[in-house]
Amino acid sequence: MAKSKTLIVVVGPTAVGKTALSIKLAQHFKTAIISADSRQFYKEMNIGTAKPSSLELSQAPHYFISSHSISEEYSAGDFEREALTTLSDLFKKNEVVIAVGGSGLFVKALTDGLDDLPKASDEIRHSLNLQFKNEGLEPLKKQLEKIDPEYYAKADVENPQRVIRAIEVYEASGNPISFYLKNEKSERSFRVITIGLNTDRQVLYDKINLRVDLMMKQGLLNEVQSLQQFRDKPALLTVGYAELFDFLDDKISLPDAVSQIKQNSRRYAKRQITWFKKYGNTVWFEPKEEEKIIQYLEYTLK
């Protein structure tokens, strides 16, 4: 049976211009935007997550921006359930809905579904977060490589959240995470068209560096200071936050922390591009090719 409703997903690396394109598409198709960004859900995390500005938010209806508190546990599975309900409501009024995000796991949750993973206890999570805080990522990576070489070989092992989550699953169940990852797609009642944005590597890196400088001017350090009590939460073990916590702990200087944010953001962008190049049937464009993207979508939606 043909699927009458369509989810247009905009993906790509950090700072490439996904927000601007998603708003342009939402206005063109007179529809709404679902954010599939793993950190923009949290109302306390604004500057470091490059949330859309209040002006941008006013230009199209947005969902899953500042929708939850950092004090709540919120997983990709929770997002899958809530976003599908929201999508179902939006499809009652719209033929097309836009989704946007650079978090591969959350995009996959929405479009393909996730495998049902065992939930770890708070004690296990706290213990692993404490180990990461005290010893850094390398010992945890070695631990993961030993318990699950199959997952280690294909996972984003530079992402502390992914490494900690994989070890949590093993400690909670006795089985490696690869045991549960069957990669079976869940059936969806809508079709998915994925638009990828990418540009010249140096141009992207320059945009990332400028964005980090702007975040610091906007008060990122104050934002990080205000989140000290939540620093063990997975969302805060990420680029832009982890480095400034190191500065606040007197481990590095502020210029070094800013330099590391830029470097880690560039590395993250590289990993995002790799991930999305393997994901689905992504069709790639330059950020400035907005009219070309709209023409492609209009043709594909016929």
**Distance of alpha carbon 263 from alpha carbon 60, whole angstroms:** 32
Local structure of 185: helix, strand or coil: coil
What's the confidence (pLDDT) of residue 134?
Answer: 87
The pLDDT of residue 183 is 66
More confidently predicted of 234 and 11:
11
pLDDT of residue 182: 67
Contacts of 125 (CB under 8 A, 6+ apart): 164, 168
Q: What is the pLDDT of residue 14?
A: 95
Tokens of 97: 């809905």
Checking if the pLDDT of 153 tops 90, the result is no
- pLDDT band for position 1 (50/70/90)? very low
Across 59-63, 65-69, 108-112, least confident range = 108-112
- Dump pLDDT digits (tens) for 154-189: 887 888 888 998 999 999 899 998 888 766 788 899
Which ranges in 118-240 belong to alpha helices (H)?
122-135, 138-147, 149-154, 160-173, 201-218, 220-226
pLDDT at 219 over 70: yes
Q: Looking at residue 285, what DSSP letter applies?
A: E
Share of the chain above pLDDT 90, in %: 72
Closest CA to 194 of 25, 6, 8: 8
pTM exceeds 0.95, yes or no: no
- Residue 278: band (very low, low, confident or very high) from pLDDT cuts 50, 70, 90: confident
Digit-coded pLDDT (tens) for 5-19: 999 999 999 999 999
Q: Which tokens in the block code for residue 221?
A: 């350090």
Neighbours of 94 (CB within 10 A): 18
d(CA 216, CA 263): 15
Confidence of residue 75 (pLDDT cuts 50, 70, 90): confident
104's enclosing H/E stretch is helix 104-111
Q: For residue 203, give the nearest of 49, 47, 15, 11 by alpha carbon.
A: 15
For 85-144, the pLDDT digits (tens) are 999 999 999 999 999 998 888 999 999 998 878 888 888 988 998 898 889 889 999 999
| Domains defined for the chain, CATH in brackets | 6-115+183-301 (3.40.50.300), 122-179 (1.10.20.140)
Q: For residues 285 and 193, is the Cβ–Cβ distance under 8 A?
A: no
pLDDT higher than 90, residue 203 = yes
User: Using CA atoms, how far apart are residues 221 and 257, in angstroms rounded to an integer?
Assistant: 10
d(CA 222, CA 233) in angstroms, rounded, equals 18
Distance, CA of 128 to CA of 187 (rounded, Å): 34
Size of the chain in residues: 302
Give every CB contact of residue 188 below 8 A, 6+ residues apart in sequence.
Answer: 3, 111, 112, 113
Higher pLDDT, 117 or 51: 51
Separation of alpha carbons 100 and 53, rounded Å: 15
Per-residue pLDDT at 68 exceeds 50? yes
Query: Is the separation of the CB atoms in 107 and 101 below 8 Å?
Result: yes
Residue 204 per-residue DSSP state: H
Sequence-distant (6+) residues with CB within 8 A of 203 are: none
